[in-house]
Amino acid sequence: MATQRIAVLAPGGGYTVQAPLLAYARLAVERRDAEVRPIEWRFPEDFDDSPKQRFELVSSQVAETLQDDKALVIGKSLGSLAAGVVAIRALPAIWLTPLLTTPEVVEAIQAAERLWDGPLARRISPHVLEIPDANHALYVPGPVSATAAAAAQVADAVEAFIDTWVWPEPTD
């Protein structure tokens, strides 16, 4: 019996699962017959946006979405605050513009414009795609087609990671 394939999509603060990078990631996992569990953050009325509250909110909602399942987690920006939950469960993850200025995120990934540290990312993992001149949404200056080409690079890297490390096809 085949193991069930599950992917959790953890969006950014203002970058929803319908935005291009996560929409393409969703398509990649759906084409591999995976169940997709997208998260829409639920902020309590008394949310004060403190770092502690952000960590607790993201970690708890990702853990709740994961349930007890083994899954691939694909997180964008704010979603990378779940890196601790992912690391504790030893799950594969794809982090799109992770918050590398947050020590807890860096520490969890180890065991973007101003939020991106390319050399640090490459020290943490050999699986890094860096888009020159891209902003935190991975938009690049110039014609829109340049941003579309950057999104295509991300989609290719997501698929390559999934096919190599997460759900490789068995060889005969």
pLDDT recorded at residue 114 = 45
Q: Are 155 and 81 in contact (CB under 8 A)?
A: no
**How far is it, in rounded angstroms, from Cα 116 to Cα 98?**
8
Q: How confident is the model at residue 1 (pLDDT cuts 50, 70, 90)?
A: very low
Q: For 10-127, where are the alpha helices, taking DSSP H only?
A: 20-30, 51-66, 83-88, 103-110, 118-124
Average pLDDT, rounded, for the chain? 90
Q: Using CA atoms, how far apart are residues 79 and 75, in angstroms rounded to an integer?
A: 5
Q: What's the whole-number mean pLDDT along residues 14-35?
A: 97
129 three-class SS: coil
Superfamily for the 6-166 domain: Alpha/Beta hydrolase fold, catalytic domain (3.40.50.1820)
pLDDT over threshold 70, residue 94: yes
pLDDT in tens, 121-144: 778 777 889 899 999 999 999 999
Q: Tell me what the mean pLDDT of segment 137-157 comes to.
A: 96
Does the pTM exceed 0.75? yes
Residue pLDDT, tens place only, 35-74: 999 999 999 999 998 989 999 999 999 999 999 999 999 9
